[in-house]
Amino acid sequence: MWKPMLPTLTDDIPVGDKWIYEIKYDGFRCGLQWTKEEIKLISRNGKDLTKQFPEIIAACQQVHNQIADQLPLFLDGELVILRTPYQGIFSKMQQRGRLRAEAKIAEASMTRPAVVKCFDLLMVKGNSLKSTPLIERKERLAGIFDLFDGQANQLHFVHYQDNVQDLKELVFLHQCEGIIAKEKQSIYTDGLRTPNWYKIKNYRVIQGVVSGWNPTNDYIDLQVYHEEHLINLGKVKHGFQPEEKQTLIKFIQKNGEKNRSQWLIKPSICLDINCLDARDHEIREAVFKQFRFDLKPEKCTTNLVQEALAQLPEEVELTKPEKTLFPNITKLDYLLYLREIAPFLLPKLINKRLTLIRYPDGVHEDSFYQKHLPDYAPSFIASIDNSDETKSILCQNLASLLWFGNHGALEFHVPFHTIDSEDPDEMVFDLDPPSLAQFNLAVMAAHLIKDIVEDKGFKSYVKTSGQTGLQVHVPLNQNKLTFDQTRAFMKTVAEVIINQYPNYFTVERLKKNRKNRLYIDYIQHAPGKTIIAPYSTRATVEATVATPLFWEEVNEKLNPKSFTITTVPQRIIELGCPLVEHSLI
C-alpha cells in the first residue's frame, strides 16, 4: 500500500542550491495508480477515491493510448478544486468528498471538476523510482506530461522554481496555502515526515478577543466586534508555549466566571492568530502567534479580520475605508473585491496602457478619466513614455491595482494591444442592444459571432459589458494579424450577420438611426481605443461587473444585472472562471 512521504512544517524557508520550490495546493493528497487494466485514485489513508472523482479517471482514459508503453505508472499529487490556477478551495473539496450518490457525483464532476496536481513520479513501466533523486523524478514526470500533449485537462504537472522569491510573489497574489521546499537529491521515503521536504504555510494573521476557555478540550474561545456587538470568531488551542497557556488560563479563572463546564471572561485580552481562513465562526488551522497587549478589545473587529484575511500589500495605505463608493458598498468592500479578483483581473491589465475612470466620492458624484501618471503616484506604480512626453499608467502588480482602487478608480479600460507590440492581441465585438429589454438580441448576436469565428479556427469567450450588453473576445497570437486585418475580418463578420438579420442588427453608430436594432461595434477595435477589462466594476448603482461567462450561460435567462461586486466572487467559487478553464490567464 502507498504511504505518502510527508513534509515537515517550518516557519523558515530553506535556501540554497540544493532546494527546489513548489506551490502547496489546498486539497486532498492522493496517489494515481495507472496500469493497462485499471486506473485507480487513492487517498493518503488508502481509501479508494476512484468512483468519487470520475472526471480524473476519464481524463486518464482520454490519453491512455499515448502513454501505454509507460505503464504501469504511479503518480503522487494533490486532488484539488481550483479557484485560480494556483489556489485550491478546500471547502469545495470537503463538500465533494462527502458526496455518495452517483448522480450527485456525476453532476459535480461536470459542473465543478477536480484536478490532480501531480508533483512526483514513483513508478514508470512498473519500475520503482523511489530511490531515484527527486530532480530526476521530476524530469521523468515532465516527460510523461509531454506525451499527454495538453489533452488530459484534469491532470496538471506541478512546475518547480529554483528561486523561492518568484514563488513567494505568486503565492501572495493567489493566496495559496503555502510553499513546499524539497531537496533536489532526496529519495522518496514512504510514510515518513521528513526534513528533506518542508512546508511553509501562507498564514494570515488575525486578531481576536479572548472570551473563554473550555477545560474539556482545552480550547481558548475568541470573539470580535461587529457593529458594537461581540460575535464568535472561533477557537484556538495550538501554538502556545506551556507557560503562555497556563498564564492565560489562570488569568481567565481569576477574572472570569464558570458557566457549567465553560469558563467565560469579559473582553480584556487580544491575541494574534495564524490561520488559513476564518468564516462561519470557525478559524481554519488556528495557531497562537502572540499576545497583543497593545491592542484594545474594541479594535478587534470583523473589518480588521477581513483586511487581515485579504493580505493587503503593506505599501498600500487604506484611506477613508468607510467612504461609500456604491450604494451600501464602502471603499473597504471595494478594495476587498479587487484583492479577491486580482488573480483574474491583473493578467488582463499587465503591459497595457491603462485608462481609469475615477469616482473619488462614489458613483453619485463627479468622475474623470485618467490615463497619465500623476505626480503624487508612489514608486511602485509603473509607467511608459509617450511621444508627447507624457507617461501612460501601467498596472503591473497587486499594490498598483489596490492603490488605484483606493483613489476611487472604479473602471479599468485597456487597449487591444500590449506595450510590446503595435498589433492586437485580441479582437472584441461590442454588442450594444437598444435597452436591457432587448438583451436577447445581444445573446443572439454573441452566438452568431461565436459560430463564425470558431468556424474560421479562432477561439472565443464572452463577457457581460457590466451595463446592458455583451462583448465577445477573440484571443490572438501576438504579431500574427494587424489592426487593419482584424478590423476587416470583424467588419465582414458583422456584415454577414446583418445581411442575415437586417431587422435585428446594425453597424450604425448614431443611436437615432439604429431603429431599435442592436449595434455591433467593430469600429472601436483600433489602436488607442479601449474596452472594459474582464472583472472590472462599472460605475452603476448596482455595482455591476464585466463578467466572463460560460457559453452555456448565454441564453434567454441571462440577466447582466445579476453580476455584481457582491455576487461575482462567490460565483467563481461555485462555478469557476471561464478564463481559467480556457487557459486565458
Q: Are residues 259 and 333 in the same domain?
A: no
Residue 433 identity? P
Residue 384: Cβ within 10 Å count = 14
Structural domain count of the chain: 4
pLDDT of residue 464: 98
Report d(CA 188, CA 469) in Å as an integer: 55
Report d(CA 148, CA 341) in Å as an integer: 31
Q: Are residues 104 and 172 in the same domain?
A: yes
The answer to whether residues 27 and 71 touch, using CB atoms and an 8 Å cutoff, is no
SS3 state at 452: helix
Q: Are residues 180 and 328 in the same domain?
A: no
Name 270's bridge partners. Answer: 209
Report d(CA 90, CA 177) in Å as an integer: 10
Question: Of 390, 415, 440, which marks where a domain is finished?
Answer: 415
Cell of 523: 469600429
Does any domain span residue 1?
Answer: no
| pTM for the whole structure | 0.95
Which residue's entry shows cell 491592542?
295
Does any domain span residue 315?
Answer: no
What CATH number is attached to the domain comprising 146?
Answer: 3.30.470.30
3-class SS letters over 81-100: CEEECCEECHHHHHHHHCCC
Cell of 556: 434567454
Catalogue the active-site residues: 24
Q: Are residues 57 and 183 in the same domain?
A: yes
Name 321's bridge partners. Answer: none
Does any domain span residue 74?
Answer: yes
Does any domain span residue 353?
Answer: yes
Q: Return the closest-CA partner of residue 210 out of 274, 273, 260.
A: 273
The answer to whether residues 24 and 199 touch, using CB atoms and an 8 Å cutoff, is yes
pLDDT tens track of the chain, all 585 residues?
A: 899 999 999 999 999 999 999 999 999 999 999 999 999 999 999 999 999 999 999 999 999 999 999 999 999 999 999 999 999 999 999 999 999 999 999 999 999 999 999 999 999 999 999 999 999 999 999 999 999 877 888 999 999 999 999 899 999 999 999 999 999 999 999 999 999 999 999 999 999 999 999 999 999 999 999 988 999 999 999 999 999 999 999 999 999 999 888 999 999 999 999 999 999 999 999 999 999 999 999 999 999 999 999 999 999 999 999 999 999 999 999 999 999 999 999 999 999 999 999 999 999 999 999 999 999 999 999 999 998 889 999 999 999 999 999 999 999 999 999 999 999 999 999 999 999 999 999 999 999 999 999 999 999 999 999 999 999 999 998 768 999 999 999 999 999 999 999 999 999 999 899 999 999 999 999 999 999 999 999 999 999 999 999 999 999 999 999 999 999 999 999 999 999 988 888
Q: Which residue range forms the structural domain that includes residue 397?
A: 324-415
Does any domain span residue 319?
Answer: no
What CATH number is attached to the domain comprising 521?
Answer: 3.30.70.3300
Report d(CA 577, CA 542) in Å as an integer: 22
Instruction: Give me the phi and psi of 562, to 5 degrees please.
Output: -85, -5
Q: Are residues 242 and 306 in the same domain?
A: yes
Does any domain span residue 317?
Answer: no
Q: Are residues 65 and 145 in the same domain?
A: yes
Q: Are residues 144 and 40 in the same domain?
A: yes
Q: Are residues 397 and 488 in the same domain?
A: no
Question: Of 186, 201, 216, which marks where a domain is finished?
Answer: 201
The set of residues, in sequence order, having a beta carbon less than 8 Å from that of 58 and lying 6+ positions away, is 154
Rg (CA), the chain: 27
Tell me the residue ranges of DSSP E strands in 125-276: 127-128, 155-157, 178-183, 193-201, 204-214, 219-226, 229-236, 257-259, 262-264, 270-275
Q: Are residues 109 and 152 in the same domain?
A: yes
Angle at the Cα of 427 (from 425 to 429), degrees rounded to 5? 155
User: Angle between the 331-345 and 398-406 helix axes, to the nearest 10 degrees?
Assistant: 150
Q: Are residues 110 and 143 in the same domain?
A: yes
Query: How many residues does this entry show for the chain?
Result: 585
Does any domain span residue 318?
Answer: no
Question: Of 415, 448, 469, which marks where a domain is finished?
Answer: 415
Q: Return the closest-CA partner of residue 403 out of 514, 312, 311, 281.
A: 312
Q: Are residues 52 and 196 in the same domain?
A: yes
User: First CA to last CA across the chain, in angstroms?
Assistant: 38
Name 564's bridge partners. Answer: 544
3-class SS letters over 347-413: HHCCCCCCEEEECCCCCCCCCEEECECCCCCCCCCCEEECCCCCEEECCCCHHHHHHHHHCCEEEEE
Q: Are residues 190 and 240 in the same domain?
A: no
What CATH number is attached to the domain comprising 230?
Answer: 2.40.50.140
